[in-house]
């Protein structure tokens, strides 16, 4: 039987790898909202996994990943609003 925590970690990993692969194969750009949303969701789920494992370095990495992705998503959305006005 698969543990709930492991399932959350796997789903988070899938989100991050999907964002990476979509960018690598030029299906989305690094300026895409989808790219940052996938990164935020994936890092958040992996952050939960890191917390459950009590892995402080991994948790810090995921928190930083989330914060940078939120910053870029916010900056990107502001830039889009300015362009459309």
Tokens of 14: 């899938």
Domain that holds residue 53: 4-84
Tokens of 45: 């789920």
Per-residue exposure over 31-42, b if at least 16 CB sit within 10 Å of its own CB, e if not: ebeebbebbbbb
State the average pLDDT over residues 72-80: 73
User: Into how many domains does the chain fold?
Assistant: 1
**Predicted model pTM:** 0.86
Flag whether pLDDT at 84 surpasses 60.
no
Q: Residue 79's pLDDT is what?
A: 58
């Amino acid at each position: 039987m698969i543990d709930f925590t492991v399932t959350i970690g796997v789903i988070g990993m899938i989100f991050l790898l999907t964002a990476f692969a979509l960018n690598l194969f030029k299906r989305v750009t690094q300026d895409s909202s989808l790219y940052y949303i996938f990164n935020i969701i994936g890092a958040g789920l992996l952050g939960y996994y890191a917390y459950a494992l009590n892995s402080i370095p991994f948790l810090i990495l995921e928190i930083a990943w989330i914060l940078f992705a939120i910053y870029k998503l916010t900056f990107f959305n502001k830039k889009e609003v300015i362009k459309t006005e």
